[in-house]
């Protein structure tokens, strides 16, 4: 099913022609109308006229999240010429947040992209979407809300948390689709299991849109089994209009990036050099349609790869692999590069474990992985627990090349998250 079949299946040469046209327009615009890019281009000697083909994208300087913070609040804002109707911020754990402006057209475009996304997964007017993402300064919930309304669904803006009420809404209004983070999905699955709710019998759920945090294929399968839904992976960031930058189609083999809206590149995060399709690196995005705050070559810090070749669904927009980590989430433990997602993937593949885990780094580079036991697997034999513990240790060591200390803890004893989960605590004295 297509929302806008013409643009979604536009032949590559035409799509690239459209991209070039939009890129040149965007570059000219930011050069003349933003303080930040005027200065940046002057410093780096870049001239907008240098963009003659898409290959010239490489001549543009990168924009980083540090640039956004340093030019807070409005150094990247295009002043005038559009209806400025919204400000969002992107969380800064330290210092100033990133301020992100949206025009009426930007919000409408975000909704349009979401409508494409939801339609391609098979959602239609008859569906009911319970939006369990955070409403507020974070773009995640609102943009999906607008897109779903545009498509004509009934939206229940429940926000995250209060699982009791979520379940009640789901039961009483026969919710068919949900949008939430993977950690909340796992928590909620656990919650309904404890209530003795069988999602296949007692609920009408069909689809779950899961994003805002990286997760693994194993986690997808766990959520699908526990909630009786098809899980679709989605990707977006507030700097690029929020969610709906990339989304899985029904084939569930990677996320289509709306290439009429975004130019994507994968680079080596160390050297900044582009890598060929299929190779893993950092995703760099350039917005092509944003009006209030276009951003060029934005370093997303997200680690992924472009999937080469066409998708069975017929869309010509290329796909991204599941995000496997963030280049700034990478932990260096005893000299080895470790992504928390590697640890999650292993833990989720071992039977007998619960859904929560915590990685603690302590002392002089010691890694402790705390993992919840599952209620069902406990048979009272300490020997079996010891065996499970050493099996986890060995599998982790083989994957991350560091031998962690594994601690089994009681189900439900780790901080359960209803929003973005905090999986790493670094207390090293290095």
Partner 1 sequence: MSTVKLVAVFSENKPGQLERVTQLLAGSGINIQWVTIATSETFGVIKLLVDRCDAAFNLLKENGFTVSLIEVLAVEVQDQPGGLHTVAEALLRHHINMQNASGFVSNNRAVLLIEVKDLEQAKAAAVTAKLHLLSPEETLRL
Binding residues vs partner 1 (CB under 8 A): 373, 375, 378-383, 385-386, 389, 405, 407-413
Taking the CA atoms of 265, 270, 275 and 279 in sequence, report the sign of the dihedral they define.
negative
**Between residues 70 and 410, which has the closer beta carbon with respect to partner 1?**
410
Q: How far is the CB of 405 from partner 1 (least distance, A)?
A: 8
Residue with Cβ nearer partner 1 (191 or 378): 378
Contacts of 284 (CB under 8 A, 6+ apart): 62, 264, 265, 266, 267, 297, 298, 299, 300
> 84-90 and 98-103: which strand pairing?
antiparallel
Residue 270 or 381: which CB sits closer to partner 1?
381
Record the tokens describing residue 249, joined without a space: 């189609």
Minimum CB–partner distance for residue 408 and partner 1 (Å): 5
In this complex, which beta carbon is closest to partner 1, that of residue 330 or of residue 409?
Answer: 409
Q: Closer to partner 1 at the Cβ: 85 or 410?
A: 410
Report yes or no: 298 and 285 within 8 Å, Cβ to Cβ: yes
* Between 65 and 374, CB nearer to partner 1: 374
Q: How far is the CB of 221 from partner 1 (least distance, A)?
A: 24
d(CA 242, CA 311): 24
CB of 393 to partner 1, least distance (A): 12
What does each C-alpha distance from 369 to 235, 307, 336, 392, 428 come to in angstroms? 28, 32, 16, 10, 14
**Cβ 122 to partner 1 shortest distance, Å:** 39
Q: How far is the CB of 70 from partner 1 (least distance, A)?
A: 45
Structure tokens at 200: 């296949």
Please provide the DSSP assignment of 155-177 as one string: EE---S--HHHHHHHHHHTT--E
């Amino acid at each position: 099913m297509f929302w806008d079949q013409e643009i979604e299946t536009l032949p590559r040469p035409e799509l690239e022609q459209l991209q070039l046209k939009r890129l040149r327009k965007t570059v000219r615009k930011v050069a003349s109308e933003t303080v930040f890019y005027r200065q940046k281009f002057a410093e780096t000697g870049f001239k907008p006229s240098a963009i003659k083909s898409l290959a010239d994208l490489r001549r543009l300087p990168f924009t980083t999240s540090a640039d956004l913070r340093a030019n807070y609040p409005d150094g990247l804002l295009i002043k005038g010429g559009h209806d400025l109707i919204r400000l969002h911020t992107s969380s800064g754990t330290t210092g100033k947040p990133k301020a992100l402006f949206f025009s009426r057209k930007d919000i409408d475009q975000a909704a349009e992209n979401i409508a494409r996304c939801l339609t391609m997964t098979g959602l239609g007017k008859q569906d009911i979407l319970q939006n369990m993402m955070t409403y507020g300064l974070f773009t995640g919930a609102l943009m999906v809300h607008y897109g779903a309304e545009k498509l004509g669904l009934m939206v229940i803006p429940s926000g995250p948390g209060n699982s009791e009420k979520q379940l009640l809404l789901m039961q009483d209004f026969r919710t068919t689709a949900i949008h939430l983070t993977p950690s909340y999905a796992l928590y909620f699955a656990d919650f309904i299991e404890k209530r003795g709710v069988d999602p296949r019998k007692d609920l009408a759920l069909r689809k779950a849109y899961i994003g805002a945090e990286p997760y693994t294929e194993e986690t997808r399968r766990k959520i699908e089994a526990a909630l009786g839904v098809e899980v679709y992976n989605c990707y977006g960031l507030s700097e690029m209009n929020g969610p709906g930058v990339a989304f899985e189609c029904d084939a569930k083999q990677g996320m289509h990036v709306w290439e009429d809206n975004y130019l994507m590149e994968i680079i080596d995060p160390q050297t900044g050099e582009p890598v060929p399709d299929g190779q893993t690196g950092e995703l760099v995005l350039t917005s092509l349609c944003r009006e209030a705050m276009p951003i060029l070559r934005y370093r997303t810090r997200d680690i992924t790869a472009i999937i080469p070749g066409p998708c069975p669904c017929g869309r010509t927009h290329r796909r991204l692999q599941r995000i496997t980590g963030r280049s700034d989430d990478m932990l260096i433990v005893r000299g080895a590069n470790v992504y928390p997602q590697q640890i999650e993937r292993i833990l989720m593949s071992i039977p007998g474990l619960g859904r929560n885990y915590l990685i603690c780094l302590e002392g002089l580079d010691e890694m402790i992985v705390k993992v919840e036991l599952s209620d069902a697997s406990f048979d009272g034999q300490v020997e079996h627990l010891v065996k499970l513990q050493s099996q986890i240790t060995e599998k982790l060591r083989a994957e991350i090349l560091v031998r962690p200390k594994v601690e089994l803890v009681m189900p439900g004893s780790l901080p359960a998250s209803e929003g973005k989960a905090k999986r790493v605590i670094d207390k090293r004295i290095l």
